[in-house]
Amino acid sequence: MLELRNVAKLVGGDYHIHPTSLSLERGTLNVLLGPTLSGKTSLMRLMAGLDRPTEGSVLFDGADVTGVPVQKRKIAMVYQQFINYPAFTVYENIASPMRIAGKDKATIDREVRKAAELLRLTPYLDRTVLNLSGGQQQRTALARALVKNASLVLMDEPLANLDYKLREELRAELPRIFAQSGAIFVYATTEPSEALLLGGNTATLREGRVTQFGPTIEVYRRPADLATAKTFADPPLNALDVVKAGGTFRHGGGGTLPVPPHLLSVADGPVTIAFHPHHLALIPQTPQASLLRARIQIAEITGSESFVHLDFAGARWVMLAPGIHDIDPDTEVDVFLDSRHLMAFGGDGLAIAAKLAA
Amino acid sequence: MEKTWNNKAWFLVLPVLLLVAFSAVIPLMTVVNYSVQDTFGNNEFFWAGTDWFSQILSSPRFWDALGRNLFFSLIILLIEIPLGIFIALNMPKHGIGVPVCLVLMALPLLIPWNVVGTIWQVFGRVDIGLLGHTLEALGIDYNYVRNPTDAWVTVILMDVWHWTSLVVLLCYAGLVSIPDAYYQAAKIDGASRWAVFRYIQLPKMKRVLLIAVLLRFMDSFMIYTEPFVVTGGGPGNSTTFLSIDLVKMAIGQFDLGPAAAMSIIYFLIILLMSWVFYTVMTSSDADA
Amino acid sequence: MARITLDHIRHAYGPNPVSDHDYALREVDHEWEDGGAYALLGPSGCGKTTLLNIISGLLHPSHGRILFDGKDVTDLSTEARNIAQVFQFPVIYDTMTVYDNLAFPLRNRGVPEPEIDRRVRDMLEIIDLSDWANRKAQRLTADQKQKISLGRGLVRNDVNAILFDEPLTVIDPHMKWVLRSQLKRLHKKFGFTMVYVTHDQTEALTFADKVVVMYEGEIVQIGTPAELFERPRHTFVGYFIGSPGMNVLPARLDGARAVVGNETLALDHAPVVAPGDKIEIGIRPEFIHLGREGMPVRINRVEDIGRHRIVRAEFEGQPIAIVSPENEDIPAEARITFDPGAVNIYANSWRVGAKV
């Protein structure tokens, strides 16, 4: 188990990483999700021991490893760039960490073939890595990280330099590969959809702060605060500042919205309500759906769905509607909000009674 | 940036630290020691305080040499930097021409200073040198032994020939790191050749140019071997730079005290000038 | 803005191409409408960047001609073609202000200064950088820089076409949404001819009126996003468009019925195929319904990705992906039905069928 206890990183008097406590269990996949410069790489460097935290301590299986340099711990890293030994064959690349560790020939051969099989590299073992596609190069780097038998495997946006479709394929394979290893996996990404596809646990980061940590789908469905909800939304989260008075939310546009049952207990006063784009539709999803009138900004069509950008009471929203809706800009349309999924956040950004219909 | 603590790492750098101590720190301390004392040989020393420093700073001989140094460095920078950029811009970026040009450019850098001096000393001689003799034959009155201007021209030519390559190589490295997209975009924007240079190549070369200017300044300010071999500081004192004067004073006249004081002043000037260059060039970078 | 004609274009990087394999671009013969938004979509190495470079004039095709509004521009340089281009990484002039960056292409063309000022200020408004006009461009964020690159292209209102080479690669996911919809609005407003190269299907589909899907140096299909989704001409298009891609299952034809393993599907027509053809059926995960009725499947894994779930299952010994909506139950003894009309038939990987 890897444990961060109030770990913080100060650079020139500013917190690059605010005090953070996290426990990552063996055999789990942990996603660090956040935009560029949110602190994902800095946090990984602290976990790896590449940087020493200014405050707090790092424990591995109960032993204090704060400040123990990376080469003394069993850690593997995979980067966005495909880092391999260019002159080596795939086989030699995968074998390299075991050769350094002085393993015997038979063990090396067995482990290399096992890893190659797992990552579908068997046909390419005799090729030099420069003759491989990007996807195969990154698989080689992954295989090398796996055979190292590291207790902690850190991956910093490993699929970012790959084609969309390749990314999709590797992403689907990764959980299976991780499941077969007992290591702790940490995976940094900027894409919410990637976190969801990988599953496991997710820690959302914003401006050097871990805003929430938990099972991925839980964090997505029940964000603890507005920052987490915004980080974990693609298409972007729709939000609206309202004032709650009894059974209605009054918004800046002058109109009102009915308060759904699960939010009735929220105290009257200003709140921010938020929901995901797929909870907005052109046809009512349930009889309780709220009807709103919004102005179309632009409609984007993907073939099976439409992303409709809307203006509502001065807020910019996105609706993700099934089917093709090529609506002209600047027209007014009726949209329905599935208010069962409405989240509410207080002035401090913390979620209030964000209980969702399952 | 802070890195991990590893006490063993200090053992690895220990040899280098010792080497630096012996080769730089201890001689420097010796020089400081000499600069505040007087000696008449026999290992007898007398406390002289700052006398040597005030003597040096009030001597016209020092200021003349300093003036020559500054003027020389200025001319060197004015010639070598633009010339280096110009050559780098015109070097091929693809194909067989690249290694050929790079080797040609590196050649002068591989020749030791004193050999360069000797080459040019012979090259410029009126009786047997290719350059001197040719100029003489063309009816141009050229003699670096008699004419101070000719001596200067020779020393400058020699330095330009020797060191422009360094500027070229640095600039070339800066140029090839510019992604093709920049040139494509400039084409599409209809930019002229000059605009491409002014707005793409020059800004992208800025960092290497800073290094080039610093290196060439420090080096030209410390010039010694070439004029020593070719002109010996003459004719008269016309090519007596600080370094040559220093050696004359220390070895020739055995005035160790003033020579030590002068070396410290010399050292501080170089340090100061380098700092000024660095600050000026990096601060303009920060504003941008 | 111009109509772009690609007249039998082939391109090989090597000097003496012999077989089809030597061509990075096999044969492209199409006409793209004036004011259309086209996306070139495909995996790396499919020839999409080669085609873009041929249009921009950075490459001269080995064969064929390229015409803008019927005028042959094959031998014209990039400058002479009067196009704008936005690159993968923001290309900005570091030492200039944001304003000067936008004014640069106009000044180079001798546009009078009052006219430049008007157009630059308009463009600053459009790309939402008015407050940054006098800042040095170097200090901006990646998406602001990319907006400048975009603005530099759009500020010239007389360009024949605007080309985009994976322009959102370095942009954060949230900013991608903003930039993409802005671009789409600009296109609706000004009607530029746009060509957009990408490997990201969401970008291609949302941006373009017509998506050009490329595979191994060839255009396999040009169509609207809906056509590509519902009627992929080639199994590659089915696989490449959609997340997850289309399920492709080996099958046998029996008149107006398709047989997959032990299951028989009724078709609305009898496809005409040659004997010996490799027959497959294609069905999108979105058009499969999971319930208590229909054909039996064995569920292997359920991936909850928030707005829906992806069910990985086995159907007649073949892996199959099914999309199940957020609020629907997944029964233990699951069975599936296919949307009638959503099944496509493929012979040797190319679609056969009466309906288009």
Q: A167 and A295: one domain?
A: no
**CATH classification for the domain delimited by C245-352, as one of 2.40.50.140, 3.40.50.300, 3.40.605.10, 3.40.228.10:** 2.40.50.140
Question: Which residues, 6 or more positions from B163, have their beta carbon under 8 angstroms from its beta carbon?
Answer: B76, B80, B108, B109, B216, B219, B220
- Find which of A77-91, B33-47, B274-288 is predicted with most confidence, using mean pLDDT: A77-91
CATH number at residue A23: 3.40.50.300
A190 contact residues in C (CB cutoff 8 A): 172-173
Best mutation target among B189, B194, B282, B285 (most C Cβ atoms within 10 Å) is B189
Inform me whether the C-beta atom of residue A275 falls under 8 Å from chain C C-beta atoms. no
Min Cα separation B189/chain A (Å): 29
Percent of chain B residues past pLDDT 90, beyond the cut: 9
Q: How confident is the model at residue C335 (pLDDT cuts 50, 70, 90)?
A: very high
Domain boundary among A231, A248, A266: A231
- The average confidence (pLDDT) of chain A is 88
pLDDT higher than 50, residue C315: yes
Cross-chain Cβ contact C226/A165 below 8 Å: no
Note the pLDDT of residue B6: 58
Structural domain count, chain B: 1
Per-residue pLDDT at C20 exceeds 80: no
What sign does the dihedral C95-C100-C102-C106 (CA atoms) show? negative
Give the model's pLDDT for residue B53.
78
**Could you tell me which chain C residue has the CA closest to the CA of A320?**
C307
Residues of C in contact with B282 (CB under 8 A): none
**Contact between C251 and C271 (Cβ < 8 Å):** no
Q: Token pair 């190495």 is at which residue?
A: C45
Are A15 and A161 members of one domain? yes
Chain A (26-45) residues lying within 8 Å, Cβ to Cβ, of chain C: 35-36
Tell me the two tokens of residue A108.
């090396």
Percent of chain B with pLDDT over 70: 90
Chains near C, with 3+ CB pairs < 8 A?
A, B
CATH number at residue B88: 1.10.3720.10
pLDDT tens-digit readout, A305-353 = 889 999 998 889 999 988 888 888 889 999 999 988 899 998 888 888 6
- Domain spans in chain C, listed from the N-terminal domain onward: 4-235, 245-352
Do A84 and A150 fall into the same domain?
yes
Q: Mark which of A204, A231, A258 sits at the end of a domain.
A: A231
Mutate to test the interface with B, among A9, A51, A55, A75 (most CBs of B within 10 A): A51
Query: Does A172 fall in a domain?
Result: yes
Task: Report, at the CATH architecture level, how domain C4-235 is classified.
Answer: 3-Layer(aba) Sandwich (3.40)
**Is the residue at B24 inside a domain?**
no
Distances in whole angstroms, Cα of residue B207 to Cα of each of B130, B149, B175, B284: 39, 35, 11, 11
**Cβ contact (<8 Å) for A166 and C43?**
yes
Residue among A158, A126, A166 at smallest CA distance from A142: A158
CB contact under 8 A, A69 and B2: no
Query: Which residues in chain C are contacts of A301 at CB distance < 8 A?
Result: 205-206, 225-226
Which of A158, A171, A303, A329 is CA-nearest to residue C202?
A303
Whether C306 and A318 lie within 8 Å, measured CB to CB: no
CB contacts, 8 Å: C79 with chain B: 187-188, 190
**Average pLDDT of chain C, as a whole number:** 89
Q: What is the pLDDT of residue C282?
A: 94
Residues of chain A with pLDDT under 70: 353-358
C146: closest CA of chain A, how far (Å):
16
pTM listed for this prediction: 0.81
Any domain includes B4: no
Residues 6+ apart with CB under 8 A from A326: A299, A301, A306
Chain A nearest C-alpha distance from C81 (Å): 30
pLDDT in tens, B112-168: 777 877 887 777 777 777 777 777 777 777 777 777 787 888 888 888 888 899 999
Chain A residues closer than 8 Å to C239 by CB = 165
- Residue B126 included in any domain: yes
Distance CA C307, CA A221 (A): 10
Per the CB < 8 Å rule, is B1 touching A67?
A: no
Residue type present at position C305: I
pLDDT at position C220 over 90: yes
Residue of chain C with shortest Cα separation from A195: C305
Shortest alpha-carbon distance between residue C121 and chain B (Å): 18
- In this prediction, residue A271 carries a pLDDT of 92
Q: Does residue C280 carry a pLDDT above 90?
A: yes
Whether A288 and A160 map to the same domain: the answer is no
User: Around Cβ B15, how many Cβ atoms within 10 Å?
Assistant: 9
Model confidence at B43, pLDDT cuts 50, 70, 90, reads low
Instruction: Return d(Cα B142, Cα B151) in angstroms, integer.
Output: 9
Residue B148 falls within a domain, yes or no?
yes
pLDDT at residue B286 greater than cutoff 60: no
CB of A302 within 8 Å of a chain C CB? The answer is: yes
What pLDDT, on the 0 to 100 scale, is given for residue B287? 45
In Å, how far is A45's CA from the nearest CA of chain C?
Answer: 22
Subunit contact B188:C96, Cβ cutoff 8 A = no
Contacts of B287 in chain C (CB under 8 A): 136
Q: How far apart are CA B113 and CA B110, in angstroms?
A: 9
The predicted structure's pLDDT at residue C188: 85
| B7–A contact, CB cutoff 8 A | no
Paired residues of B238 in beta bridges: none
| DSSP code at position A47 | H
Block residue for tokens 């600080």: B242
Q: Does A326 touch chain C (CB under 8 A)?
A: no
Range of the domain at A125: 2-231
Q: What distance in Å separates the CA atoms of residue B254 and residue B193, rounded to the nearest whole number?
A: 58
The verdict on B203 touching C (C-beta cutoff 8 Å) is yes
C-alpha C59/C-alpha C55 separation (Å) is 8
| Among the partner residues A163, A197, A301, nearest to C303 by beta-carbon distance | A197
Residue B184 distance to chain C (closest CA, Å): 8
DSSP-derived 3-state class of residue A292: strand
Beta-carbon separation of A51 and B5 below 8 A:
no
**Domain closes at, from A180, A196, A231:** A231
pLDDT score at A353 = 60
ipTM: 0.84
pLDDT of residue B107: 86
B5 part of a folded domain = no
Q: Are residues A222 and A243 in the same domain?
A: no
pLDDT in tens, B214-244: 888 888 888 777 777 777 767 777 777 777 7
Q: For residues A243 and A259, give the distance between their C-alpha atoms in angstroms, rounded to a whole number.
A: 11
What is the tally of structural domains in chain A? 2
Asked if B62 contacts B258 with a C-beta cutoff of 8 angstroms, the reply is no
Q: Which CATH number characterizes residue A263's domain?
A: 2.40.50.140
* pLDDT the model gives residue C23: 85
Q: Is residue A351 part of a domain?
A: no
Give tens-digit pLDDT for A74-130. 889 898 888 888 888 999 999 998 888 888 899 999 989 988 888 888 888 998 888
> Looking at A120-129, A250-259, B17-26, C238-247, which range is the least confident one?
B17-26
Structural domain boundaries, residue B120: 60-287
Q: Give the closest-approach CA distance of A97 to chain C in angstroms.
A: 30
Give whole-number Cα distances, A7 to A4, A18, A176, C46, in Å.
6, 8, 31, 47
Strand partners, B58: none
How much is the pLDDT for A355? 44
d(CA A149, CA A98): 9
